[in-house]
Amino acid sequence: MAFTAQDVKALREKTGCGMMDCKKALTEANGDMEAAIDVLRKQGLAKQAKKADRVAAEGIALAITNDTNTAGVVIEVNAETDFVAKNADFQAFVNTCAQTVLNTNPADVEALLATKAEGSEMTVAEMLQEKVLTIGENIQIRRFEKLDGACVAYVHAGGKIGVIVNFDTDIDTTNPEFVAYGKDIAMQIAALNTPYLTEADVPAEVIAHEKNIMVEQMKNDPKMANKPEKVLENIVKGKMGKYFKENCLVDQEFVKDSSMTVGKYTDATAKKLGGSITIKKFVRFEKGEGIEKRQDDFAAEVASMVK
């Protein structure tokens, strides 16, 4: 029985085993999915087959930089329970994954899994399988992003949120005052979940959508009903200014000092350190965001176990 690349992918998702192992197993099993799972289990590779169906929405979002703060990585690795997220072995695995990304620059999660793990002879996929077997939960590397250039990392609440901020600067990236400034910016991003960096980064369709909502709100407001078009246009302009201040990082009020914006704080820091700083990019990962957590009926589960 022939099998397709889609079958290999499906087997990989069910078992968490490496691509080549899945291919070999399907070949041996003549394309039969269940038989291929048995092949992998017999090889000790897929004891986690059943675990792969379980929802992994806990875990860690980790952000790190290299020693000179000239490259940074933010990564999310998921497990099923918060208890495992606090496990030192799991935390060490996440750190190894981040270090591997930092040093080898894989293109995606697939490439990372096939890469030799930092400080080990195992691939990341083999190390992942080992962790699933020893820890006993479904563990998945969900996503990562690597940024090159001046970077500062921040991890909030022991791995609930990981932030990496990328700067364009001529200031020494190891300068403690620069790092402290970078942490302030990262903490602001973590706290306020800012969607955009500057006004120019807000997509045209988002601006059009916001304006449309504002216009409709005014149409439904009796006090606005008879105001001239020009006046309404100016009101919308003012409201959009407020929208940018709330949703664009450089225009936001700086959380630690509301008398200035993040942009002004950046300029003041650059002047103080005798150089220039521009915030280029930021990435914020919050663990489990967008993952549908399965709501199990605990009472029903206990009842079924008693039976």
Alpha-carbon distance 179 to 25, whole Å?
Answer: 50
Whole-angstrom Cα distance, residue 180 to residue 11?
Answer: 46
User: What residues have CB less than 8 Å from 110, skipping those under 6 apart?
Assistant: 19
What per-residue confidence (pLDDT) applies to 15? 77
Distance CA 208, CA 84 (A): 44
171 to 200, 210, 249, 258, 307: CA distances (angstroms) = 25, 38, 21, 25, 67
**Token pair for residue 174?**
């190891």
Tell me: pLDDT of 280 over 90: yes
Question: How is residue 251 annotated by DSSP?
Answer: G
Q: Per the domain annotation, does 296 fall within a domain?
A: no
Q: How confident is the model at residue 298 (pLDDT cuts 50, 70, 90)?
A: very low
Which pLDDT value is given to residue 306?
55
In angstroms, the Cα distances linking 209 to 41, 202, 203, 206, 213 are: 52, 11, 10, 5, 6
Helix (H, G, I), strand (E, B) or coil at 164: strand
**Does 157 share its domain with 267?**
no
Is 108 inside any structural domain? yes
**Is 185 domain-assigned?**
yes
Verify that 69 and 150 share a domain, yes or no. Answer: yes
Same domain, residue pair 63 and 150: yes
Mean pLDDT, the chain, rounded, equals 89
The domain spanning residue 18 has which CATH number? 1.10.8.10
Average pLDDT over residues 133-159: 94
pLDDT digit string, tens, across residues 245-269: 999 999 999 999 999 999 999 999 9
In the chain, how many domains are there? Answer: 3
| Residue 299 resides in a domain | no
End-to-end CA distance of the chain: 40
pLDDT tens digits, 25-35: 999 999 999 88
What pLDDT score does 34 carry?
87
Task: Please classify residue 237 by burial: count the beta carbons closer than 10 Å to its beta carbon, then call 0-12 exposed, 13-18 middle and 19+ buried.
Answer: exposed
Domain hosting 11: range is 5-53
pTM metric for this prediction: 0.77
User: Above 60 in pLDDT, residue 275?
Assistant: yes
